[in-house]
Amino acid sequence: MTGRGAVIGRSGVTRRWAAVAAAVGVVASGCGTTVPGTPVAEGGGADLSGFTDLLRECDVVADPDIAATVGADAIVRDFFGAICRWSAVGAGGLVKITFDWFETGSLDTEEQTARRLGYAVEQTTIEGRRAIVVTRPGDPGSCGTTLGAPSAGVVGWWVQYPSGGGDPCAAATRLAELTVDVAN
């Protein structure tokens, strides 16, 4: 081949390989991380004694009891995990229900977060446990109740009647009572 730049001299090839090697070295040096500690086989190191019925949180109150509490004739689970959701319908229309169980959560953190979001927070007790009732300003159809969980962390219920039709605070508080009663 002829032409300008078509033939690369030995020093040009060496410089390019040196540049490639340097780039690989920089990238490779950022890929390794040393983690202190002792490796443990999967499932062998976790202490789950405080997590009773792990992955069954959504079953702590039976679906028919949830439906009866919110005044619904039918209920469907929308999602379940650390946060569980149901949609229900009754004479008052649609009802949205959310349950959460944060095994390592605290009531103080939940209260601070609600206040930071601009929600109104009322101190109360449920079945002898410290609890909070949370309402969203300008949304009389929504209310949540959070209290210390029976074993560890916090549990909370949020009830929303988008078109009215019920008392969301009474429903959320009753669901919290059922949660503590069932879990004892």
Whether the predicted pLDDT of 53 surpasses 50:
yes
- Decide if 43 is inside a domain: no
Number of domains into which the chain is organized: 1
Least confident of 11-20, 33-42, 154-163: 11-20
Question: For residue 26, what pLDDT is reported?
Answer: 47
Greater model confidence, 184 or 89 = 89
Q: What is the pLDDT of residues 137-151, one digit of tens each?
A: 999 999 999 998 877
Is 6 domain-assigned? Answer: no
Q: What domain range is 167 assigned to?
A: 57-183
* Residue in 135, 136, 155 with CA at minimum distance from that of residue 147: 155
Strand order in the sheet with 129-135: 74-79, 83-90, 93-102, 154-160, 142-148, 129-135, 120-126
pTM for this prediction:
0.69
In a domain, 86, yes or no: yes
Query: Does residue 18 sit within a domain?
Result: no
Residue 95 included in any domain: yes
CATH number of 68's domain = 3.40.1000
Rounded to the nearest angstrom, the gap between the alpha carbon of residue 88 and the centroid of all alpha carbons in its chain is 21
Instruction: Report pLDDT digits (tens) over 88-102.
Output: 999 889 999 999 988
User: What is the reported pLDDT for 27?
Assistant: 46
